Amino acid sequence: MEMFQKFNTYLEEEQETREKIREIVKLIDNESKEAAAVLQVIHTSLTEVNQACLKVRGMLEKCKELYIQLASIVPPNQYYRFSDHWNWTTQRLVSIIALVVYLEAGFLVTRDTCAEILGLKSNPADGFHLDIEFYLMGILLMTDDLSRFAVNSASMGDYNRVQNLQNFIGNINSGFRLLNLKNDALRKKFDSLKYSVKRIEEIVYDLAIRNLINKPNEGEQMEATSVSMKED
């Protein structure tokens, strides 16, 4: 009986910890949903992009404060035991951060920078950290938004942005091809990136044949065709 009483105490303490985690993660999740909603303006108005990014950065500051609280609740060396509570929310926040950084500066945000913005560590040995797989999933989620952004940018007449998006997502695609993806979720999500690349290539091709942008030279066309045939 004494042994089972100890078990019961252990289970009660774990349940209490999980409840505290759920409460904070819910607050983080609400902030992430609101931030994602704010960024939807990029699909309707290019003039409001900077204002939307500025507003989202304020929301990210709130998320940082909440992650610091969350880190104080999770017992030492038990990150992965409870990580199922915050994995999806963290992935979405990485996607949001990556989108904001691209819209503001035009480059891919690093994992270290994402971790810093969220108040997390980069090295697992240092404690509550940004898991590499969460970062990679977030980047793949971001490319879904950019694929749609490319379509809407073309509709709004921002053809140079479409070409920039093609180069940007193409480079991300090349980077992911260097990875030996054994995680099922990552591998499946990477498949969606291939469709995003193809979708933007079709938009660029359509703009080129309409003489709205410069056509690629013959060498680039042959190289693109060769790569496409190898992928198929």
Let me know: does 86 contact 130? Beta carbons within 8 Å.
no
Span 176-191, pLDDT tens digits: 999 988 767 888 888 8
Span 24-75, pLDDT tens digits: 999 999 999 999 999 999 999 889 999 999 999 999 999 999 999 999 999 8
Q: Two tokens at 96?
A: 């949001």
Span 113-156, pLDDT tens digits: 999 999 999 999 999 999 999 999 999 999 999 999 999 999 99
What does pTM read for this prediction? 0.87
User: Domains of the chain, with CATH numbers?
Assistant: 1-96 (1.20.58.190), 131-232 (1.20.58.200)
| Main-chain phi, psi angles of 78, to 5 degrees | -125, 30
Give the closest residue to 143 by CA, choosing from 184, 105, 198. Answer: 198
